[in-house]
Amino acid sequence: MSGRDWELVGAPNARDLGGLVGADGRRVRPGVLIRTPALGRLTDEDLPVLAKLGPSCVVDLRDHSETAVAPPDRLAGQPRVVHLPVHDAEHPVFTYVSAVLLGHDLGAYEALAEQGTPAAMAAIYRWFVSGESARANFGAAVRLAAQAENLPLVYHCSAGKDRTGWLTVLLLSALGVDEATIRADYLANNRLTESLREVLLEAMRRRMPGLDVEAVRPVLEVREEYLDAAYAEVRRVHGSFGAYLRDGLGVTDDVVVALRAQLLD
């Protein structure tokens, strides 16, 4: 099943990366790399769809502090579940996004408002590149995708847009997909989650009458400037994306060869 053949009502921005053109004109195989948000809101009708996708492995990029307060993932079959937390308690964005999605206390809002939400988001994306746990666990996730026994691979964070988005950038870059295509997949999140985003904002507006909704919106969206911040950090620290994969993430040339063998037709 390709991404155009299915949808998950409880995970509107879930999609299959199959069909994107990678190295040597070879396409990403359909049904092997599936990016999603957290799966705790899947409906009963979604479960047969997930079962048909048949994930062998589910990578969860959330920290235990996030999973402890979220509904547990609803899974089909018995996939191996691997927790590779990419989380930094020093960045209020993580706490805030989870709180927004779960309808919890929005106490982190003041810390974010001081920094400015777009600036806070850009800082998170720079941390994705340089943060120690980010490098360790993003690297581990890419290496998992190079192993046949983990395919099909489903991977997610909370909203399925930032950590999931950057892991998608890593995977597609290693597969030789061009940057314009990678950006288009990243930005597709906004279109796919538009109605959900407005529902969340309206609910927040009702609960917090003094809330500046336009200050909140950047946390619920993806933006080119966030991705640009991460790419700039890659260049600043490593000089090139290839060096970042190899030296920053431990994604060696052998891993890239294995990824392409497993994931490209």
Would 3 be classed as within a structural domain?
no
The pLDDT value recorded for residue 208 is 75
Q: How confident is the model at residue 2 (pLDDT cuts 50, 70, 90)?
A: very low
Beta pairing class for 15-16 and 33-36: antiparallel
Q: How confident is the model at residue 103 (pLDDT cuts 50, 70, 90)?
A: low
User: Does the structure show a pLDDT above 60 at 259?
Assistant: yes
If 0-12 CB within 10 Å is exposed, 13-18 middle and 19+ buried, where does residue 230 land?
buried
% residues pLDDT > 90 (the chain): 74
pLDDT per position as a tens digit, 162-187: 999 999 999 999 999 999 999 999 99
Would 210 be classed as within a structural domain?
yes
Would 91 be classed as within a structural domain?
yes
Identify whether the C-beta of residue 55 lies closer than 8 Å to the C-beta of residue 152. yes
The pLDDT value recorded for residue 100 is 64
3-state secondary structure of 103: coil
The catalytically annotated residue of 134, 157, 167, 227 is 157
Task: Name the strands in the sheet holding 15-16, side by side, starting at the edge strand that comes first in the sequence.
Answer: 15-16, 33-36, 153-156, 57-60, 80-83
Cα–Cα distance, 30 to 222 (Å, whole number): 25
Q: What is the mean pLDDT of the chain?
A: 91
Q: Where are the beta strands (DSSP E) in the chain?
A: 15-16, 33-36, 57-60, 80-83, 153-156
Would 4 be classed as within a structural domain?
no
How many domains does the structure of the chain reveal? Answer: 1
Would 8 be classed as within a structural domain?
no
Would 5 be classed as within a structural domain?
no
Cα–Cα distance, 82 to 50 (Å, whole number): 17
Beta bridge partners of 16: 34
Show the domain range for 54.
Answer: 15-263
The pLDDT value recorded for residue 212 is 78
The pLDDT value recorded for residue 211 is 74
Q: Report residue 7: phi and psi, to 5°.
A: -150, 155
Would 47 be classed as within a structural domain?
yes
Cα–Cα distance, 19 to 21 (Å, whole number): 6
Q: Which residue has the tokens 């597969």?
A: 175
Query: Which range is least confidently modeled, 104-113, 152-161, 219-228?
Result: 104-113
CATH number at residue 118: 3.90.190.10
Residues in the chain: 265
User: Does the structure show a pLDDT above 70 at 46?
Assistant: yes
Would 159 be classed as within a structural domain?
yes
Q: How confident is the model at residue 254 (pLDDT cuts 50, 70, 90)?
A: very high
Cα–Cα distance, 38 to 58 (Å, whole number): 10
The pLDDT value recorded for residue 39 is 98
User: Does the structure show a pLDDT above 90 at 51?
Assistant: yes
Cα–Cα distance, 142 to 170 (Å, whole number): 7
**Residue 57 annotated in active site:** no
pTM, whole model, 2 decimals? 0.93
